[in-house]
């Protein structure tokens, strides 16, 4: 076994870190306060290849691998969880299903704009009464000639506010439950698409989280992704891969909070010595770092398995579960190490604490991850 990153991955890591320190870190507080990521920053991340990392160059991607993608999301999230989730949702939840399940014509039509950042992608599965129960999808579609007509609503859509490209999950027969569901590629600038609201959230406030309504949205039949009636399978496969991105985001948030807590513990003095000299603080740092390192091993392993076309379902659930709970734990402890200052926005760990919690919730709550893991164990 070799647990070292190869030279290409190390060069990439250094390059991303340099970019993050120059372009993202100085804006992180403002992104949180303004509830938006500047378009200029999105354009710069696109130029760096962050939005098309592991897709082939023939479709406008950077031609890297899944581990490279995990590293990108991790490093970006150390400074800004909102920017990390933009990359993660765009890549894993929109571009990836088009690449995996799309026809060659669909790949050539949609992926270049997504990989270049001309369009920002999102995944439309969740509804007010259907999230974890994907088979309960109530958004309906029917075919009329050479078009599909979609009616319904979606909520909690990450990146939705960009009105770019979406993977929309809808049903043609609710009585068939998951067997009646199909997936579609949708241009969100189309007539019939209405933004109901952008949510005001506790954390990742720079990331758009949007509710939509579809009123007789018409799309060409060529926008059907995969086979009709196979949308549930596409959604589950998409979420499976997406968990690696969320784990990478959680890992980055945890690392960013740890770095700040470690530095603060060396600077802050009480009783005539730095607080890092107290065993109580040392125990916290040891526990935080141990959880971070185990999360990293799980996340990198899941990415490696996907790269090598091995079954990674359990591994993606485990890395998402462990890394997200690590992010919440580490950011909480980082605030505790900062004492009263940890509750003040100037020290950033309070933002990271707010950003961390969502990683336990989206891409399936951690209770769902435990169900996935236990079912695989029992089978």
Summarize pLDDT for 21-52 with one digit per residue, the tens.
999 999 999 999 999 999 999 999 999 999 99
Q: What is the CATH number of the domain that holds 345?
A: 1.20.140.10
The predicted model gives 303-312 an average pLDDT of 95
pLDDT category of residue 212 using cuts at 50, 70 and 90: very high
Query: Could you tell me if 255 and 74 are in contact, meaning their C-beta atoms sit under 8 angstroms apart?
Result: yes
pLDDT category of residue 233 using cuts at 50, 70 and 90: very high
Are 361 and 254 in the same domain? yes
Are 145 and 210 in the same domain? yes
- pLDDT value at position 46? 97
Are 250 and 358 in the same domain? yes
Are 19 and 86 in the same domain? yes
Distances (CA, A) of 142 to 169, 265, 336: 13, 61, 54
Q: What is the CATH number of the domain that holds 16?
A: 1.10.540.10
pLDDT category of residue 131 using cuts at 50, 70 and 90: confident
Q: Cα separation of 204 and 326, whole Å?
A: 17
Are 298 and 362 in the same domain? yes
Are 222 and 251 in the same domain? no
Active-site residue numbers? 363
Q: Is the per-residue pLDDT at 250 higher than 80?
A: yes
Are 108 and 21 in the same domain? yes
- pLDDT value at position 102? 98
Q: What is the CATH number of the domain that holds 201?
A: 2.40.110.10
**Does a structural domain hold residue 1?**
no
307 burial (CB, 10 Å; 0-12 / 13-18 / 19+) is middle
Domain end residue (candidates: 63, 82, 116): 116
Domain end residue (candidates: 116, 146, 176): 116
**Does a structural domain hold residue 153?**
yes
Are 278 and 198 in the same domain? no
The pLDDT tens digits of the residues spanning 152-211 come to 999 999 999 999 999 999 999 999 999 999 999 999 999 999 999 999 999 999 999 999
pLDDT category of residue 134 using cuts at 50, 70 and 90: confident
pLDDT category of residue 363 using cuts at 50, 70 and 90: confident
The pLDDT tens digits of the residues spanning 79-126 come to 999 999 999 999 999 999 999 999 999 999 999 999 999 999 999 999
**Does a structural domain hold residue 27?**
yes
Are 251 and 366 in the same domain? yes
Average pLDDT of the chain, as a whole number: 96
pTM of model > 0.85: yes
Helices within 276-365 (DSSP H only): 279-307, 313-338, 349-357
Query: Could you tell me if 259 and 337 are in contact, meaning their C-beta atoms sit under 8 angstroms apart?
Result: no
Q: Is the per-residue pLDDT at 70 higher than 90?
A: yes
Domain end residue (candidates: 208, 230, 252): 230
Q: Which of 218, 230, 242 is nearest to 159 (CA)?
A: 242
Main-chain dihedrals φ then ψ at residue 80, nearest 5 degrees:
-150, 105
Q: Is the per-residue pLDDT at 272 higher than 80?
A: yes
- pLDDT value at position 346? 87
**Does a structural domain hold residue 2?**
no
The predicted model gives 339-364 an average pLDDT of 93
Are 241 and 374 in the same domain? yes
pLDDT category of residue 362 using cuts at 50, 70 and 90: confident
Q: Is the per-residue pLDDT at 316 higher than 80?
A: yes
Other Cβ atoms within 10 Å of 3 Cβ, number: 8
**Does a structural domain hold residue 267?**
yes
**Does a structural domain hold residue 264?**
yes
**Does a structural domain hold residue 87?**
yes
Strand partners, 100: none
Are 88 and 207 in the same domain? no
Distances (CA, A) of 120 to 61, 88, 117, 169: 14, 11, 6, 18
Provide the b/e sequence for 224-256 (b: ≥16 CB within 10 Å).
Answer: bbbebbbbbbbbebbbbbbbbbbbbbbbbbbbb
By residue range, what is the domain housing residue 24?
7-116
> How many domains does the structure of the chain reveal?
3
Q: In this structure, what token pair is assigned to residue 69? A: 């993608």
Are 279 and 346 in the same domain? yes
């Amino acid at each position: 076994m070799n647990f070292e990153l190869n030279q290409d991955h190390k060069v990439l890591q250094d390059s991303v870190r340099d970019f993050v320190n120059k372009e993202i870190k100085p804006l992180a507080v403002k992104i949180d306060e303004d509830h938006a990521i500047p378009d200029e920053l999105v354009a710069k991340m696109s130029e760096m290849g962050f939005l098309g990392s592991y897709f082939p160059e023939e479709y406008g991607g950077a031609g890297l691998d899944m581990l490279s993608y995990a590293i990108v999301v991790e490093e970006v999230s150390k400074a800004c969880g909102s920017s990390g989730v933009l990359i993660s949702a765009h890549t894993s939840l929109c571009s990836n299903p088009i690449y995996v399940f799309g026809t060659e014509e669909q790949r050539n039509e949609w992926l270049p704009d997504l990989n270049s950042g001309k369009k920002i992608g999102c995944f439309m599965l969740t509804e007010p009464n259907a999230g974890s129960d994907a088979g309960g999808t109530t958004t309906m579609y029917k075919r009329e000639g050479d078009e599909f007509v979609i009616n319904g609503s979606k909520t909690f859509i990450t990146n939705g506010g960009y009105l770019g490209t979406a993977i929309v999950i809808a049903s043609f027969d609710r009585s068939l439950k998951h067997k009646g569901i199909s997936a579609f590629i949708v241009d969100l600038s189309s007539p019939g698409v209405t933004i109901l609201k952008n949510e005001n959230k506790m954390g990742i406030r720079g990331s758009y989280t949007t509710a939509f309504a579809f009123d007789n949205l018409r799309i060409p039949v060529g926008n059907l992704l995969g086979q009709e009636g196979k949308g549930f399978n596409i959604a589950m496969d998409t979420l499976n891969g997406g968990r690696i991105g969320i784990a990478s985001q959680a890992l980055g948030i945890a690392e960013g909070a740890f770095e700040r807590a470690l530095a603060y513990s060396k600077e802050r003095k009480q009783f005539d010595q730095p607080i890092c000299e107290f065993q109580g603080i040392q125990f916290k740092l040891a526990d935080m770092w141990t959880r971070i390192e185990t999360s990293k091993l799980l996340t990198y392993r899941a990415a490696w398995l996907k790269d090598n076309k091995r079954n990674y379902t359990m591994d993606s659930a485990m890395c998402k579960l462990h890394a997200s709970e690590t992010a919440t734990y580490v950011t909480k402890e980082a605030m505790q190490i900062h004492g009263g200052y940890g509750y003040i926005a100037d020290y950033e760990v309070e933002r990271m604490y707010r950003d961390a919690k969502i990683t336990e919730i989206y891409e399936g709550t951690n209770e769902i991850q435990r169900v996935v893991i236990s079912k695989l164990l029992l089978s």
